[in-house]
């Protein structure tokens, strides 16, 4: 959900449709937070059964359930954090999410020490510290998005460079992209223009290239929509 939203936001930003990008960020944040709330309910219902499926020993079952129930309370903020950090990276700001992650790690370590060593909260203390650290990270990203006056300028990426960028946004390592790039280019049918700036691509070519990257993810489920709008029957058939 969050990775897909960041791709759309990056495309709108690159097209200089800033008002649409702001709306997309707001919608993505709302959906991410609400989805996190849904995960709280799912977790409350399934945590005991999931631990049984994982064959958790009986002697740590109670503590594991407590830890996960507290952890799942932070799901809305985790979802929001993923969306916001992906958004910042998609417009060229990878520094801020990295700094905020370091800050949240320090907060987590300090609170672990306070809650476990001082307050003797044990497992609950560890879980609460993790949730608070995630909330802090999410709050910092939210503040950055709401108050920044920086003018982000994206480079004129070629098709090849766009593959690496989209791959990174979708969670692929550079090594994975290196191994799959020739296959991605062939699948996209854009080899002739792969080193041309994507701003000169037609909408069909851009969608083909973007889908080709997503098609090479190692995922069990893929939801497709806009690729079916490509006016190329042969490519649509290949995608399906």
Q: What is the mean pLDDT of each run of 10 residues along the chain (240 residues)?
A: 72 76 88 93 93 92 94 93 85 84 95 94 94 95 80 70 87 90 91 85 79 82 60 68
The predicted pLDDT at position 226 comes to 55
Compute the C-alpha angle 17/20/26, nearest 5°.
140
Which pTM was predicted?
Answer: 0.62
The predicted pLDDT at position 208 comes to 84
The predicted pLDDT at position 197 comes to 84
Residues making up the chain, counted from first to last = 240
The alpha carbon of residue 177 and the mean position of all alpha carbons in its chain are separated, in whole angstroms, by 17
Q: In terms of DSSP H, where are the helices of the chain?
A: 2-14, 18-53, 58-73, 75-90, 95-112, 122-147, 159-169, 174-188, 203-215, 233-239
The predicted pLDDT at position 151 comes to 55
The predicted pLDDT at position 225 comes to 59
The predicted pLDDT at position 51 comes to 93
């Amino acid at each position: 959900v969050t990775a897909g939203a960041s791709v759309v936001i990056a495309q709108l930003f690159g097209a200089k449709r800033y008002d649409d990008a702001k709306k997309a960020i707001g919608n993505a944040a709302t959906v991410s937070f609400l989805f996190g709330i849904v995960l709280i309910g799912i977790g409350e219902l399934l945590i005991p059964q999931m631990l049984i499926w994982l064959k958790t020993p009986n002697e740590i079952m109670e503590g594991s359930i407590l830890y996960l129930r507290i952890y799942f309370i932070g799901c809305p903020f985790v979802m929001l954090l993923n969306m916001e950090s992906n958004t910042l990276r998609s417009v060229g700001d990878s520094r801020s999410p990295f700094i905020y992650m370091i800050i949240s790690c320090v907060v987590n370590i300090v609170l672990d020490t306070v809650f476990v060593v001082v307050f003797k909260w044990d497992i609950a203390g560890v879980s609460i510290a993790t949730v608070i650290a995630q909330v802090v990270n999410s709050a910092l990203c939210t503040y950055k998005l709401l108050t920044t006056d920086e003018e982000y300028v994206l480079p004129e990426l070629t098709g090849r460079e766009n593959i690496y960028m989209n791959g990174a946004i979708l969670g692929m390592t550079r090594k994975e992209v290196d191994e799959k790039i020739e296959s991605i280019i062939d699948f996209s049918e854009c080899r002739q223009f792969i080193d041309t700036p994507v701003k000169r691509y037609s909408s069909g070519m851009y969608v083909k290239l973007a889908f080709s990257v997503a098609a090479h993810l190692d995922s069990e489920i893929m939801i497709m929509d806009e690729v079916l709008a490509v006016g190329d029957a042969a490519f649509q058939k290949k995608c399906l």
